[in-house]
Structure 1
Amino acid sequence: MIIELHDAGDPRVADYTELTDVQLRRLREPAEGLYIAEGPRVLRRALAAGHRPRSFLMARKWLSDLNDLLTAYPGVPAFVGSPELLADIIGFNLHRGALAAMHRPDPVPVAKLLAGARRIAVLEDIVDHTNLGAIFRSAAALDVDAVLISPRCGDPLYRRSIRVSMGTVFQIPWARLEDLPAAIVMLRGQGFATAALALTDDSLTIDRLADRKYERLALILGTEGEGLSAATLAAADCAVRIPMGRGVDSLNVAAAGAVAFWACRPAQ
């Protein structure tokens, strides 16, 4: 259902306004049950994962490239306007072809998420959406079965997280926790070894952790800069470090996650 836009203040495109205001969107999107998918590849992955569109927004020149999607969802409005009008609505120049306002999927119960999982990532207070998206992309590529995130962690379904992950946030089941230290105790009860990536005096190297060949393993990553909290470190079974060379003390959290996921991937 193609609808021509002529006014940036059209209330029918309210889902797309103020997309560059991160704090506002973090409040609005979960509360309103939506998220924004940006770009044809991300959009296709969202739909392939079974997510439902509320509407599409694009410049007219993209109609032919996305005709198959619009045909598949004939009752979903596709708002079309000039590039200048779209920029007025969303707050930036849209270079990736199209946006879609998507219905946010129902949360996955943690018990269901853990059933059959062998490797999971646990993220504490990671607020940079670029890092968050990169961690999900590595998790998808390196056999991580699920991701748990702390209450103050960023939103995996925020537009930048989705874009950086290349849509892999739709492939990895995830859940937001109410209390991270308590969740670590719960994971231990489910048979997971819990390893916190941290530079402590008693930390194991990642190779030594991998040599233990745990059947079920949770790798815990902390916020940018400060790392993991004392309570989370105390709850974990062990601390783990990635050996560094040339005087470098640590890696970016997304890079550290990728190294840890690869080193500790389950036996095939």
Structure 2
Amino acid sequence: MAELVEITDPADPRLADYRDLRDVELRKHLEAEHGLFLAEGEKVVRRAMEAGFTSRSLLMAPRWLDGLADVLATTDAPCFVLSEHLAEEVTGFHVHRGALASLERHALPSVSSVLAGARSVLVLEDLVDHTNVGAIFRSGAALGFDAVLLSPRCADPLYRRSIKVGMGAVFSTPWTRLPDWYDALPTLTQAGFTTVALTLASDSVPIESAVAGVDRLALVLGGEGHGLSRRWEQSADRRATIAMRPGIDSLNVAAATAVACYIAARR
């Protein structure tokens, strides 16, 4: 059972995991150094705990204690209880969902273990927006994709904003980072996947045609703005596009992923 610890001083050193949550660079450094990540909101905290992540501590406003009593019963970590006003002073924003948890990261699994048994995977190259990464995890999970692979420079799926937007899909979807960026796609082809890159390349075909008849699919998506690198675009087995009205050439990468996943799930 979690120990309830009432906090009245926002400078209390025990709250260090929760400070300055709006400072992305500071949070990236702190979370990497200490091997932690934050979950925000009742549903997300619950999903993280149910997925087997070990809590370092929790932070809640009093009104959330009853709703998460069953979760608090599963951990020995301290639960810091403070007013919503004080929580805002600590975190730098209004914690309107009332609950935060600091949890320990797991070591990243190998690519082969993530791909074991997978039929449909998403492969992300250099997406830097945490909101897009979270939305892509959510779409992939909802539409039947089995795993996600990320290039070394992709945004962190366990960053608080990514987790929140993805509604905790990162906890249920196997994922890891690709250690070899240059030959990532040929390696997936050798592993039995057909790599289909979403791109505006001149030889792109409609996504419906590109995924037709494909058994093991790796759907490849590039970063915001510039899209896929030339290396990944050219080393994919197939290039595909989503048809849209004249004068509009592309969708936001998260929206494009949702459309492509919907089509691919029905191949």
Aligned pair count reads 265
Q: Could you tell which deviates more after superposition, 154-163 or 169-178?
A: 169-178
What percentage of aligned pairs have identical amino acids?
Answer: 52
Which residue in 2 is equivalent to 1:58? 60
User: 1:1-268, aligned counterparts within 5 Å?
Assistant: 1-73=3-75, 75-211=76-212, 213-265=213-265
Once the two structures are superposed, residues 152-190 of structure 1 have per-residue CA deviations (whole angstroms, 9 ceiling, x without a partner) of 110000111101011111111110122323111111110
The 3-state SS of whatever aligns with 2:161 is: helix
Letter in 2 for 1:135: I
Once the two structures are superposed, residues 89-134 of structure 1 have per-residue CA deviations (whole angstroms, 9 ceiling, x without a partner) of 1111110020000111221111111111111100011111111111
Cα shift at 1:246? 4.3
Verify the 8 A CA contact 1:215 1:266 in the aligned structure 2.
no
Once the two structures are superposed, residues 199-242 of structure 1 have per-residue CA deviations (whole angstroms, 9 ceiling, x without a partner) of 0111111011132x211111110001100001111211121100
The 3-state SS of whatever aligns with 1:264 is: helix
Runs of at least 4 residues off by over 2 Å? 178-181
**In 2: Cα distance, 1:116 partner to 1:40 partner:** 32
**In 2: Cα distance, 1:117 partner to 1:82 partner:** 45
The 3-state SS of whatever aligns with 1:202 is: coil
Verify the 8 A CA contact 2:210 2:238 in the aligned structure 1.
no
**In 1: Cα distance, 2:83 partner to 2:50 partner:** 28
Verify the 8 A CA contact 2:59 2:101 in the aligned structure 1.
yes
**In 2: Cα distance, 1:203 partner to 1:72 partner:** 51
Letter in 1 for 2:188: L
Verify the 8 A CA contact 2:110 2:176 in the aligned structure 1.
yes
Give the gaps of 5 or more residues in structure 1: none
Verify the 8 A CA contact 1:181 1:235 in the aligned structure 2.
no
Give the gaps of 5 or more residues in structure 2: none
**In 1: Cα distance, 2:34 partner to 2:21 partner:** 14
**In 1: Cα distance, 2:106 partner to 2:204 partner:** 38
**In 2: Cα distance, 1:57 partner to 1:232 partner:** 42
Letter in 1 for 2:95: L
Letter in 2 for 1:260: A
**In 1: Cα distance, 2:243 partner to 2:198 partner:** 11
Verify the 8 A CA contact 1:143 1:266 in the aligned structure 2.
no
Q: Could you tell which deviates more after superposition, 133-142 or 178-187?
A: 178-187
**In 1: Cα distance, 2:266 partner to 2:218 partner:** 12
The 3-state SS of whatever aligns with 1:185 is: helix
**In 2: Cα distance, 1:43 partner to 1:80 partner:** 15
TM-score normalized by structure 1?
0.96
**In 1: Cα distance, 2:200 partner to 2:117 partner:** 30
**In 2: Cα distance, 1:266 partner to 1:208 partner:** 12
